[in-house]
Amino acid sequence: MDSLINGRALVTDFNQKCLQLMNHTHYKFTRRESEVLILSCYGFDIEAIASLLHRSPKTILKHRENARRKTQLRTLMMVATHIWPLINH
């Protein structure tokens, strides 16, 4: 039962972080871009993210590139460093 409650808390936290990124007035990330960015920040690789979101790795790369382009930063690491404070305040 505790693992179920912890799982729900984790999903709730993840959803809240996605909403925070989606509602950030400057970037206008889509839900999927937000999900991909957050999972990338937590260290998931492209294959793992693709598996979790039931998408192809190529689609995940496209979402990451779209999010990177919206921030006008050159690398995913720069994007992750920039958005980390937005999702962890």
Q: What is the pLDDT of residues 4-22, one digit of tens each?
A: 445 566 667 777 887 777 7
Residues 29/68, Cβ–Cβ less than 8 Å: no
Mean pLDDT of the chain: 84
**Does domain 2-87 bear CATH number 1.10.600.10?**
no
45, 76 Cβ separation under 8 angstroms: no
More confident residue, 84 or 63: 63
- Vertex 55: Cα angle to 50 and 58 (nearest 5): 75
Cα gap 89→87, rounded to integer Å:
6
Domain boundaries, the chain: 2-87
The 10 Å Cβ neighbour count of residue 27 is 19
pTM confidence score: 0.80
Is residue 21 a contact partner of residue 86, using CB atoms and an 8 Å limit?
Answer: yes
User: Which of 26 and 31 is assigned the larger pLDDT?
Assistant: 31
Q: Residue 18 is encoded by which pair of tokens?
A: 């996605």
If you average pLDDT over residues 60-79, what whole number do you get? 92
